[in-house]
Amino acid sequence: MAAVRGASRGAVGGVVPAEVMAPSTADGVAEVVRSTGGSVVPVGAGTKTGWAARPSSCDVLLRTTGLDRIVEHVPGDLVAVAEAGVPLDAFQRRLAEHGQMLALDPPEEGATLGGIVGANASGPRRLRYGTVRDLLIGVTVVLADGTTARSGGKVVKNVAGYDLGKLYTGAHGGLGVVVSTAWRLHPLPKAAGAVVVPVADARAAGRLAALVARSTLTPAAVELRFGDGGGGGELVLLFESIEASVRAQSATAVALLGGAEAASPPAWFGRRPAGPLVLRLAYAPAALPHVLAALPDGASGTASACTGVAYAAVPRDTDLGAVRAAIAPYDGSAVVLAAPEPLDAAEHWGPVADSFGLMTRVKDQFDPARRLSPGRLLGGL
């Protein structure tokens, strides 16, 4: 049997699927896509379904959680292959047995590898290790016509063919259903330590972040917690290396920042804010103070202070158009991650980019009938 029918029914963006299927093999996924005449919306554990716009239709909700095998781990090459439904935490536990890790740390509990690829999810350590696009070295995907395509391989340096893994990253299943992933790994750090410094306002946060960025320090993460309007909070530098390096860098950071102290990362570190309306902000890193100042009263959240990404919980009556207009001069964008009610593509993503024409041609090439996650991408693609 190609799929398990009758899996738990779940709405995506308020759209209730006509059927839910959970194949346990890549061939099963291909059969579902090939035999379904209508729309197919792929999801993993469902931890980030709000990160894309609501679908225009959902005839089949295709859960990939049945694809749960860790296929291969080659510790000597620092690579591993795992199916899309493998939970990140289970993958990390297996890698840790060999002193290794996948250097991705999105906080959503239960998130699967395929869902992380589809949403392009990352966490604080993106500063040191990069994002999904930097660590994903191979991918297997079921295309809209039910055929299976592979890109990349099981080696870190691979120049054969197009790097289609980057194309599927952040596509929310709109170009194909990711069924298997290959990853570049890193050794587990021997030691870790943090330096915490209070910040009075957005301007102070930006000044300290700039000091860190211009210094010789090599933190794994630089995270800011900000309060109402970007004021009040604290900046945390995380160092991961050998013990001597962590001690030396922590001491240097304390001296550099003033008022800082070595401490354990606070409870909020690595978490995303919760609220009825949550935004993901992207912007030029140097514009951190301006972006935080553009948020409405009552906003709070966290920012990866040296990479130009922030997550903000804002009041439910926030004027999204005004926020987007205010941060646009800083290469800024604001995407909705959670909302009180499902949003259409224009409200969810904001204005279409200059590259929208290219995106449309790519969608037409990979999914000409617009069957995969229809309407979920920018501009309603």
| DSSP codes, 77-107 | GTEEEEETT-BHHHHHHHHHTTTEE------
Question: Quick one: average pLDDT of 84-105?
Answer: 98
Q: What is the DSSP string of 158-196?
A: --SS--THHHHTT-TTSS-EEEEEEEE-EEPPSEEEEEE
Q: Does residue 169 share a domain with residue 44?
A: yes
**133 lies in some domain:** yes
Q: Does residue 82 share a domain with residue 114?
A: yes
**2 lies in some domain:** no
* pLDDT tens per residue, range 221-274: 999 999 854 456 899 999 999 999 999 999 999 999 988 888 889 999 999 999
Residue 2 has pLDDT above 50, yes or no: no
According to DSSP, the residues that pair with 87 across neighbouring strands are: 112
Instruction: Report the pLDDT value the prediction gives residue 162, as an integer from 0 to 100.
Output: 59
The sign one gets for the Cα dihedral 377, 379, 380, 381 is: negative
**67 lies in some domain:** yes
% of the chain with per-residue pLDDT over 70: 94
**363 lies in some domain:** no
**130 lies in some domain:** yes
Residues 186 and 77: beta-carbon distance below 8 Å: no
Please, which pLDDT band fits residue 3 given cuts at 50, 70 and 90?
A: very low
Q: Does residue 118 share a domain with residue 70?
A: yes
**303 lies in some domain:** yes
Q: Does residue 287 share a domain with residue 215?
A: yes
**196 lies in some domain:** yes
Burial profile 141-159: b = 16 or more Cβ within 10 angstroms, e = fewer: bbbbebebeebbebeeeee
Q: Does residue 115 share a domain with residue 99?
A: yes
Domain edge (last residue) among 135, 160, 188: 188
Q: Does residue 293 share a domain with residue 158?
A: no
Can you give the pTM of this predicted structure?
Answer: 0.92
Question: Quick one: average pLDDT of 281-293?
Answer: 95
Domain edge (last residue) among 188, 212, 242: 188
* pLDDT tens per residue, range 288-336: 999 999 999 999 999 999 999 999 999 999 999 999 999 999 999 999 9
Containing structural domain, residue 216: 191-338
Q: Does residue 263 share a domain with residue 121?
A: no
Counting the structural domains of the chain, the total is: 2
Instruction: Report the pLDDT value the prediction gives residue 1, as an integer from 0 to 100.
Output: 37
Q: Does residue 165 share a domain with residue 230?
A: no
% of the chain with per-residue pLDDT over 90: 82
Q: Does residue 214 share a domain with residue 144?
A: no
Amino acid at 356: F
Instruction: Report the pLDDT value the prediction gives residue 8, as an integer from 0 to 100.
Output: 46
**181 lies in some domain:** yes
Instruction: Report the pLDDT value the prediction gives residue 231, as an integer from 0 to 100.
Output: 52
How high does pLDDT run on average in the chain?
91
Least confident among 92-96, 176-180, 198-202, 318-322: 198-202
* pLDDT tens per residue, range 65-93: 999 999 999 999 999 999 999 999 999 99
Residue 9 has pLDDT above 60, yes or no: no
Instruction: Report the pLDDT value the prediction gives residue 6, as an integer from 0 to 100.
Output: 42
Question: Quick one: average pLDDT of 201-227?
Answer: 93
